């Protein structure tokens, strides 16, 4: 059976290569009895993979059971998995078979396997290695032939370091790992899933399916989806029920999107003071950009002085540089964020302190060249400020302010 047929059979939606790779591994390992560990964030759809493995294996006619290890109280987990004898603990009024005994010859899916208590982990390791176990309150060894598939959204190596998971059990479970990708790594699949959930909600509640315009689709695509597919499904059903308009635009969609989870924004390192980082980064950027622009402007002026006949053409070709320089000068005069900087503040590489600017003469020369540019532009366009401002790459209002500031006739 090919990957596309598997998707259709188990209702898996998406064309991501990462998702296809995970399905392909499940298909290949199904014919064996190797233990599989499925890893992935909560809500990514890990529960589909043990079903694929079971249905495509020689055990497909045997029993299959899914056990949420995190939902069973610690005091009863051993009894649930391995069974107990009558009178073995308070409330044990009769003997009971556990899941490993009931599912003999089939497949057991241990969801959230990292939530198992350490004592239960020892029992599970013995089952995986020898197929042997004992009921709670019994000394009789029982045998079982069960295929175990585990799943977790926990970083198990970290749990091992913290003493919450046995290293030997991890290696025994992780014979073949399958990683289910989060939704933010399957951007092209997000809208496909939305349409499927919208169609399901429309059929379930007997209403027309909602649709998204292009802006809303882009918002949906760029969201981080910390809850993955489960979160997308809940949001789709919520909008389907509440909104009367069936065409959803970006503004409407944003009302339902949780705040603070944008996939396109950088994340600040926890050890860094954000206020100091922003001030320092802003000042360095402005200074470095201005230095580069001044060097470029000096080279431009030299070229203009060498070729007076081509001043008008060169002026038009380099308006973007002048415009950028204006912006940098204004940023230094009136920064968008408050800048607090000590005289001896060090650079990122902690080498030499930042020195006071020593380009006073160069700044005065820059002012003269700026006046000269404005006069040339006004002369070229016979005093028409709008055309001169366009030539310089600045607004007419900025040009008017410069004329007043420099008292240009």
**Residues comprising the chain, all counted:** 409
pLDDT given for residue 358 in this prediction? 46
Spell out the residues 6+ positions from residue 129 whose beta carbon is closer than 8 angstroms to its own: 172
Whole-structure pTM value? 0.62
Alpha helices in 96-175 (DSSP H): 99-102, 118-130, 156-161, 167-173
Contacts of range 7-12, beta carbons closer than 8 Å, 24 or more positions apart? 9/55, 10/48, 10/51, 10/52, 10/55, 11/48, 12/45, 12/48
pLDDT given for residue 404 in this prediction? 80
Q: Which CATH class is domain 184-256?
A: mainly alpha
Closest CA to 152 of 22, 39, 25, 51: 39
Cα–Cα dist 320/157, whole Å: 53
Closest CA to 9 of 84, 44, 62, 60: 60
Helix then strand then coil, in percent of the chain rounded to 5, is 55, 10, 35
Contact 63, 103 (CB under 8 A): yes
- The ranges assigned to domains in the chain are 3-181, 184-256, 293-406
One digit per residue, the tens of pLDDT, for the chain of length 409 reads: 899 999 999 999 999 999 999 999 999 999 999 999 999 999 999 999 999 999 999 999 999 999 999 999 988 999 999 999 988 888 888 999 999 999 999 999 999 999 999 999 999 999 999 999 999 999 999 999 999 999 999 999 999 999 999 999 999 999 999 999 999 999 999 999 999 999 999 999 999 999 999 999 999 999 999 999 999 999 999 999 999 999 999 999 999 998 754 544 444 333 344 444 445 555 655 665 676 667 767 776 666 666 554 544 555 555 555 566 555 555 544 444 444 444 444 443 444 444 444 444 444 456 777 888 888 888 888 888 888 888 887 888 788 888 888 778 7
179: helix, strand or coil: strand
Closest CA to 184 of 216, 225, 125, 140: 225
Order the strands of the 176-179 sheet from edge to edge: 64-68, 107-111, 147-152, 36-39, 176-179
pLDDT given for residue 110 in this prediction? 96
Given CA atoms 196, 198, 203, 205 in this order, what sign does their dihedral have? positive
Compute the chain's Rg from CA coordinates.
34
pLDDT given for residue 281 in this prediction? 52
Q: Where does 3-181 sit in CATH, by number?
A: 3.40.50.300
pLDDT given for residue 395 in this prediction? 82
């Amino acid at each position: 059976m090919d990957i596309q047929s598997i998707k259709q059979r188990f209702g898996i939606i998406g064309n991501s290569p990462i998702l296809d790779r995970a399905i392909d591994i499940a298909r290949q390992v199904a014919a064996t009895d190797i233990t599989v560990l499925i890893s992935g964030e909560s809500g990514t759809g890990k529960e589909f993979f043990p079903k694929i493995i079971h249905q495509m294996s020689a055990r497909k006619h045997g029993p299959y059971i899914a056990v949420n290890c995190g939902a069973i109280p610690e005091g009863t987990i051993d009894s649930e998995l391995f069974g107990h004898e009558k009178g073995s603990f308070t409330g044990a009024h009769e003997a009971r078979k556990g899941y490993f005994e009931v599912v003999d010859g089939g497949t057991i899916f241990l969801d959230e396997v990292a939530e198992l208590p350490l004592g239960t982990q020892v029992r599970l390791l013995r089952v995986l290695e020898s197929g042997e176990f004992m009921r709670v309150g019994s000394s009789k060894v029982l045998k079982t032939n069960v295929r175990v598939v585990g799943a977790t959204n926990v970083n198990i190596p970290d749990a091992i370091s913290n003493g919450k998971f046995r290293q030997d059990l991890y290696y025994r479970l992780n014979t073949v790992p399958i990683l289910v990708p989060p939704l933010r790594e399957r951007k092209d699949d997000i809208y496909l899933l939305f349409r499927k959930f919208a169609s399901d909600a429309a059929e379930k509640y007997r209403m027309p399916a909602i649709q998204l315009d292009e802006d809303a689709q882009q918002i949906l695509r760029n969201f981080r989806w910390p809850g993955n597919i489960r979160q997308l499904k809940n949001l789709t059903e919520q909008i389907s029920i509440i909104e009367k308009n069936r065409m959803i635009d970006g503004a409407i969609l944003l009302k339902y999107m949780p705040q603070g989870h944008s996939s396109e924004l950088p994340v600040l390192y926890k050890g860094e003071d954000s206020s100091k980082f922003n001030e320092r980064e802003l000042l360095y950027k402005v200074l470095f950009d201005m230095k580069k622009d001044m060097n470029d402007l000096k080279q431009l002026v030299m070229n203009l002085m060498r070729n007076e006949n081509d001043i008008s053409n060169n002026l038009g070709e380099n308006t973007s540089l002048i415009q950028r320089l204006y912006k940098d000068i204004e940023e230094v005069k009136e920064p968008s964020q408050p800048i607090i900087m000590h005289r001896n503040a060090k650079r990122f590489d902690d080498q030499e302190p930042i020195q006071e600017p020593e380009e006073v003469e160069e700044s005065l020369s820059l002012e003269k060249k700026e006046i000269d540019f404005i006069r040339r532009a006004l002369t070229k366009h016979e005093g028409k400020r709008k055309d001169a401002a366009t030539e310089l790459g600045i607004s007419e209002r900025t040009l008017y302010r410069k004329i007043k500031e420099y008292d240009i006739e």
